Chain A
Amino acid sequence: MKTENQKAWFFVLPVLLLVAFNALIPMMTVVNYSVQETFGDNVFFWQGLDWFEQILRSDRFHAALGRQFLFTFLILVIEVPLGIAIALSMPRKGIWVPVCLVLMALPMLIPWNVVGAMWNIFTLPDIGLLGYFLNHTLGLNYDMTQDPIAAWVTIVTMDVWHWTSLVVLLSYAGLVSIPDAYYQAAKIDGASNWSVFRYIQLPKMKTVLTIAILLRFMDSFNIYTEPFVLTGGGPGNSTTLLSIDLVKIALGQFDLGPAAAMSLIYFAITLLVSWLFYTLMTKDDLN
């Protein structure tokens, strides 16, 4: 005899409430704004999917989206291999292990806006350490408030500095979990260093790397604070990433409808790409 017991629902109720307040309700507000026009005073006019159409057709959105993909692509292409390389060269045992781990964790412990401010000062052409060195010692013409290339180099470098550690620490965790016997067996089998990496280390790191890539994708795709503090989206619009553009539309121009529609599109893209990444990286595990 199976007894039906509905009491379990009470136990999930607190979580449902929490999720409702921190995700569902704000999200529904955004949905609400995205299909209406308002001029304040709580007066709304039905707008249908006009805002979505407007955003999807707008050159400004395409440009910001393009910059966003370029940024995310660049930092993934740099941070993932670099992170793996650093993890591979870190010691596996001995007194240097904790030293390396702490050094690696340091950048991640700094608040994001502080990172932006640090790099801002660091790169000032006349008084910043890096800015002064590049301009006055090497004689380069480096000023990220004037030159879009310099601005891009700076925000990418800053992100690499800030977040490569995450890839390093996750890869390192994967590496130290490999039993010695694997390396010994590979030596006996006559495997080259590349084979050891390709057939032992990489497969064993795969799970944590999947997590690292997903986290780095989502974080970099939604990045706001650091570039906002560092360049404010400039010079011109050259470093205006999606989130910065979104805030400009929502709070600068107070176009709540288009901003809401853009948020939802933004959210859908993040979700879609994350799903694609995840499916591609785990498809081998299924069979």
Chain B
Amino acid sequence: MAKITLSKLRHSYLSNPRSDSDYALKEIDLDWNDGGAYALLGPSGCGKSTLLNIISGLLVPSEGQILFDGKDVTRLPPDQRNIAQVFQFPVIYDTMTVYDNLAFPLRNRGRDEATVEKRVMAIAEMLEVTEMLHQKAAGLSPDNKQKISMGRGLVREDVNVVMFDEPLTVIDPHLKWKLRSKLKELHQRVRATMIYVTHDQTEALTFADQVVVMQQGEVVQIGTPVELFERPTHTFVGHFIGSPGMNILPCTVDGDARIEGHPIPLEGPLRDTGSGQLTGRTEIGIRPEFVALNDTGLPATVTKVSDVGRHIVVECSCLGHKVNAVIEGAAPEKGAEVHLDFRKEQTRLYVDGWLATEPEQNA
């Protein structure tokens, strides 16, 4: 097990990249602590699989270094890095039994049969596949196949990191939940560093202690699920996490922030940007959960009401912008005139997409 450090990592699939847009990964500096449960979250094509393949050694980055416990492994092939990877589609060796599948990585490394048996039995028990050990792996159901792929990763005691590349894609919905909690449980038992790549926020937020959100080859935010929800550092994170995503409304800033002339109180002072001057595109960001329908506030018209079960999502047209509010209890009629009240501590200002306000200091 090891601490993994990515230092000034850049990667391009082109042989001589010129501009920033030629890079699939743009300058990544990250530390993954030993034994942590991480998720790498982002839309398709954001570079998360590229990053994963660089860590596993299937890809050599154009620039930068990967360190395992301070040792440079940038150019080491996968089998010498002691890592494990679980792929989108379950990879199993069809002609072998489940037992032989699980034993394969150990046998390839020349472990004696007694050790192999001990490890395979332990892992099989953990994954609850003991009674299948002597079946041909080809005949298993997809979720069991995926369990075996995971097992092949966990069977080696000394793995530095186990990586999951959207492992639940081909699993039936009702088994996803089961397998996901199994994963969480496994992490608590084996305490190996785990990196879970996904574009599904639910998967990321339930699995990980720390979520790394990526967009267009860049890391936009690293934080706990709560941090990502409450203080997205970029409007992209606000949009991407949450259902529905954060409301982003263009505003003007001149002493105070105003949407179409209406002053909006912000959570706190603007972050010191150095120049003291505010330039660029300014927007107000507020989560629908913190928008209330009240007697006072911004005037709005209800355009759509959807009952999603636990709560009600009210879509309004407010000063020409679309604003979502999540409320509980009685819902207004469609077409009703309402007033929207933004909770002050949760109202943030974004400049060119990046968070520009800080919470009130003395509170």
Contact = CB atoms under 8 A, between A and B. Distances in A.
Instruction: Check if A and B associate.
Output: yes
A190 interface: yes
A179 interface: yes
Binding site of A, secondary structure by majority: helix, strand, loop or mixed? helix
A281 to B, nearest CB: 13
A188 B83 contact: yes
Contact of A187 (B77, B104, B149): B77
Residue of B108, B149, B153 most packed against chain A (CB within 10 A): B108
B185 interface: no
Contacts of A195: 108
A193 to B, nearest CB: 12
B91 A187 contact: no
B262 to A, nearest CB: 54
A215 to B, nearest CB: 23
A5 interface: no
Given A190-B79, A191-B104, A191-B108, A185 B94 contact: no
Residue of B77, B83, B85, B136 most packed against chain A (CB within 10 A): B85
Contact of B95 (A181, A199, A287): A199
Residue of B88, B95, B153 most packed against chain A (CB within 10 A): B95
Nearest to A198: B95
Binding site of B, secondary structure by majority: helix, strand, loop or mixed? mixed
A188 B78 contact: yes
Residue of B78, B96, B109 most packed against chain A (CB within 10 A): B78
Nearest to B139: A287
Contact of B85 (A188, A199, A200, A203): A188
B95 A203 contact: yes
Contacts of B94: 203-204
Contacts of A188: 56, 78-79, 83-85, 105, 153
Interface in B293-328: none
Contacts, number: 53
A130 B24 CA distance: 55
B354 interface: no
Interface residues of B, number: 25
A179 B109 CA distance: 24
Contact of A192 (B91, B93, B108): B108
Contact of B105 (A184, A190, A192, A200): A190
A117 B335 CA distance: 87
B85 A185 contact: yes
Interface string B102-121: 00110011000000000000
A189 interface: yes
Nearest to A195: B108
B90 to A, nearest CB: 9
Interface of A: 179, 181-182, 184-185, 187-192, 195, 199-200, 203-204, 284, 287
7 smallest CB-CB distances across A and B, nearest first, come from: A190-B108, A181-B87, A185-B91, A190-B79, A189-B105, A199-B93, A187-B78
